[in-house]
Amino acid sequence: MAFDYDLFVIGGGSGGVRAARMAAATGASVGLAEDSRMGGTCVIRGCVPKKLMVFASGYGETPADARAYGWDIPDGVFDWQPFRTRLNTELDRLEGVYRQLLSTSGVTIHDARATLDDAHAVRLSTGEVVTARHILVATGGRPERPDSPWAHLGIVSDDIFQFDRLPASILIVGGGYIACEFACILHGLGVRVTQFYRGAQILRGFDDEARGLVSEAMRARGIDLHLGTDILDMRPAADRPDRIGMGAPEQEPAPALASGGKGPVWVKGSNGHEAMFDTVLFATGRAPNSRGLGLEAAGVTLGRGGTIAVDAYSQTSVPSIYAVGDVTGRVNLTPVAIREAAAFVETVFGGTPTPVDHSLIPSAVFTQPELGTVGLSEEAARAQEPIEVYCTSFRPMQTAFAGRPDRVLMKLVVSQASRKVLGCHIVAPGAGEMIQLAGIAIRMGATKEDFDRTVAVHPTMSEELVTMRAPVRKA
């Protein structure tokens, strides 16, 4: 049977674009459909704009720090409008880069929604039906609203980048990395931030000691963090009870935000805390973009929550259909989607079956301070085997000189039997940069003694990783 394409990719995010370009480089004919902006979640409404907002939010402390170092710099006021304009210009540029990369690679772009007709046929929203020897689904994920009667009164993370202006106050519901990152970002930009999380501690799944320090730092900076707390009641401002806490507010919050915001709301927490907020952000989870693609009709098996079930080579239950990235629910990180895409091309078009190893993946949470991690947490390692823990926490030189109380954490989790470093956890400014390099050593199987033999770079925060000689505890 003759096909229109050797490969048709559904989704123009990081994984889909990488797979399309690499497959085209092998001489395959490739088509790609995207019904939104090219670049996907990471480039348009995720990693990239979020990190630029992280940078912006960090400058608020600069004047005070600079004055401690002798600079005569006055405090400033953050202006959302020029930043937002520049941010959108940058995202437009990056989307253009993605389109150019696909075009110069010989990939045919379809600006349309694509659904599956069968194992080899894709139907486009333009009405066209194309056929392909192989189909790759790389549609990513989306923020999910909670199943509650007031979910429509709040916004989700995608809406943050579309604010016409910043709210004066916000309630963030959730305790994962997205919730915590935006709590720090918005606080740094001058928004009064309250955060509710129903769990006992934020950042579930990360090392307990590391996430505890991040939680303390967020509170010390002024984020009103309520743990063990969920929304008990939530209403539009006009429907609020007559009295809120000690009394009715003297001034109404700002009117509904021109884009994204649902207007001022009254919220009562399960801990009894009551307040008015300009807006509420639900950061309570993400779901795979698998709905309405025709997957089940085509015979593709779906897993829990709508994830696409795949094997080690990203192949679905239908041999001609593959899936990579967040839609598979394996490890929802952009570099992982890119790695899965590359492995898919090596397997299908390179003649070399290549599984993806999802172990020892470094990651970072861009809170203030950042959390960088690779390998096992102390808790997970302790459950696996006898371990030693090497750990230190201290005030870094730069901010200590400026009189700030900030603390950082450097931690290694080591196997007693093999002496291999099983996990590394860093809480510090620039932890994301540090953990990338530590990840190389740990991926190579470095032992604690390999770290010990490495000469320190002084004076740096990261030198502590190679100067800790005695374990603080064994388990």
Catalytic residue numbers?
Answer: 458
- 28 forms beta bridges with none
d(C-alpha 420, C-alpha 260), whole Å: 48
Phi, psi dihedrals of residue 432, rounded to the nearest 5°: -60, -40
| Distance, CA of 474 to CA of 11 (rounded, Å) | 47
275 phi/psi in degrees, rounded to 5: -165, 165
Task: Please state, in angstroms and rounded to a whole number, the distance separating the CA atoms of residues 90 and 161.
Answer: 13
420-438: string of b/e by CB count within 10 Å (b at 16+)?
A: bbbbbbbbbbbbbebbeeb
* Count of helix runs (H) and strand runs (E) in the chain: 13, 22
Beta-carbon-side half-sphere exposure of residue 420 (alpha carbons within 13 Å): 14
Long-range pairs, 298-306, Cβ under 8 A, ≥24: 298/116, 298/117, 298/118, 298/119, 299/119, 300/116, 303/329, 304/329, 305/329
Nearest in space to 244 (alpha carbons), one of 233, 255, 229: 233
Which residue carries 């309630």 as its tokens?
A: 171
Strand arrangement, sheet containing 231-236: 231-236, 265-269, 274-277
The widest CA-to-CA distance across the chain, in whole angstroms, is: 75
Distance CA 220, CA 407 (A): 11
Other CB atoms within a 10 A radius of the CB of residue 96 amount to: 12
